[in-house]
Chains A and B, each alone.
Chain A
Amino acid sequence: MVQAVVFAICAAASVAAGIAVFRVDSMARATLALLASFVLAAITLLLLDLSYLGVLVILMMTMEMMIMIVFMVMYMMNPAGLMPMTMVHNNRGALAISIGVFAVLAAGIFIVPWPDTRPGTPADPTLQLAEAIMGSKMLVMMVVGMVLFATMVATTVLSTDRGRYDRYGDDLRRSRPDDPIRGGAGR
């Protein structure tokens, strides 16, 4: 009973916070509304006894949103971000897409054959979930992880305007790199 009430409150509040993202007129408020939405969704994970995943979602989303907000404000046409802005573009198309996605996901709830026998909560639901998701697909997951990491490194290398020749000289013989901002490790 308590679980159902907490779930209902969190679900409704999470959706409300999600709507708020598109209703508020400042980038800071939109980001924090999105963070609130994620945290409320994380609480529903905690209700499933997936404590590690739930707390991890709170942790990761908090850090992620704070990094995201820097970039969102940076790339905005109005850099101050405190002036009125809107998160909504292409209103009709967006409305059609979001209603479509909602319909598909809602249909999924009714179509998926949920197990209704209750064998009781397993001792470690996080482990069970991890094995269900990753058990047979660990190799794929590891390869995907490496590809993601390689993409990040490659993007950084391609987007930086200073390469090793700028830092270490044309023959790469400079003992100390020539950097515009000196780092604390004395390089």
Chain B
Amino acid sequence: MGEPMPLWGVLLLPIGLLLLGYGAAAWSAMLTARAGGAPASAAASAPARETARLLVEQRRTIPGADTVLWRLGGAAVPVAAILSVLVLPVAGRSAADLSVGVVWFNAMEVLIWVAVWTVGWGADSVWGLVGAYRFLVQGLAYALPHMFALTTAALGAGSLRVSDIVQAQEGVWFAALMPVAFGVYLLSAMAMAYWGPFDQAVARDLAGGAGAELAGVDRLVFRAGRYLMLTAAAAMAVPLFLGGGAGPLLPEWTWTVLKAAAVLALLVWLGHRLPTVRMDRFTEVGWVVLIPATLLQALVVAIFALVV
């Protein structure tokens, strides 16, 4: 149980998340530019230019829309991402080192379900609605393997407190001790941010799916929220599986940021490399392959924890 984070640290946390999220967006834009044969370096500022464009663009109003839910849903995406990293330890301190930190992270990240469904529903658009339902199906596919992966990390440390999980990795990182759980966590991190192979909820075949009707600042908040969620999930992989801030020479917080950035870069790159997976196919993989695999991993870790 570490000391509480100073107030400036708590204020800095969302800013750091935003900076990393911008890096993810820029890296994604660079990958797109390179695939299209354009110079990648110019694409680094693409998210900033897109942000400026969206800020001056008119918000869309739709006659039949449930505007309250529509706007609330979009705003809930970044809020869920920021709330979920409150338990993230940086340099041994987190904004709230809850005794049930892992469950808190899980609960906040599930708010994404509400957010995406509400955005899709509220717009009174068939594309949005189909995208919203797609995300719920995908949620059912990834949620259980994801929870078992989180449980396995907690099991390895014998605690739901994130700082205890970091401490338990002083000898060997959980990524090495429980590779299946780590792999499933990375998969579900992409799925919860509807990123990469799991982006059918906002796919191009639905003209943008859940976010189809968003324009202007609403679209900006929704898209930024998605990058924040991906960043939050990547950052939580560091205390859960990658030994937290442990590393030579550099100070602890640098290692946390470096590792989070590395995981994030990997996830963004994977999202560009892998073809989109239909969520009905992924559901069978999730339930027939990933759940038994994560349960077996949990069993192995439980026996290991008993013996060692």
The verdict on A28 contacting B64 (CB below 8 Å), with A59-B106, A70-B133, A185-B289 known, is no
Q: Chain B's nearest CB lies how many Å from the CB of A111?
A: 33
Does any Cβ of A come within 8 Å of B155's Cβ? no
The verdict on A28 contacting B100 (CB below 8 Å), with A62-B111, A184-B285 known, is no
Contact assessment for B98 and A62 in the assembled complex, using a CB-CB cutoff below 8 Å: no
Contact assessment for A51 and B98 in the assembled complex, using a CB-CB cutoff below 8 Å: yes
Does any Cβ of A come within 8 Å of B69's Cβ? yes
Task: State which of B100, B118, B140, B285 has its C-beta within 8 Å of the C-beta of A51.
Answer: B100
Q: Mark B133-144, 1 if CB is under 8 A from A, else 0.
A: 100100110010
Does any Cβ of B come within 8 Å of A11's Cβ? no
Task: State which of B68, B107, B281 has its C-beta within 8 Å of the C-beta of A62.
Answer: B107
Q: How far is the CA of A158 from the CA of B280 in the complex (A)?
A: 22
Contact assessment for B117 and A183 in the assembled complex, using a CB-CB cutoff below 8 Å: no
Within 8 A of A (CB), among B261-308: 277-278, 280-285, 288-289
Within 8 A of B (CB), among A141-187: 181-185, 187
Q: Chain A's nearest CB lies how many Å from the CB of B77?
A: 14
The tally of residues in B whose CB lies under 8 Å from a CB in A reads 36
Q: Hey, which bits of chain B sit against chain A, CB under 8 A? A: 64, 66, 68-69, 98-100, 103-104, 106-107, 110-111, 113-114, 117-118, 121-122, 124, 133, 136, 139-140, 143, 160, 277-278, 280-285, 288-289
12 CB-based A-B contacts, threshold 8 Å: A29-B66, A32-B118, A55-B103, A55-B104, A59-B107, A59-B110, A63-B113, A69-B117, A82-B124, A183-B281, A183-B285, A184-B282
Q: Hey, which bits of chain A sit against chain B, CB under 8 A? A: 26, 28-29, 32, 35, 51-52, 55-56, 58-59, 62-63, 65-67, 69-70, 82, 181-185, 187
Known: A55-B98, A55-B103, A63-B113. 15 other contacts (CB 8 A): A32-B114, A52-B103, A55-B107, A59-B103, A62-B107, A63-B139, A65-B114, A67-B140, A70-B136, A181-B280, A183-B280, A183-B284, A184-B277, A184-B283, A187-B288
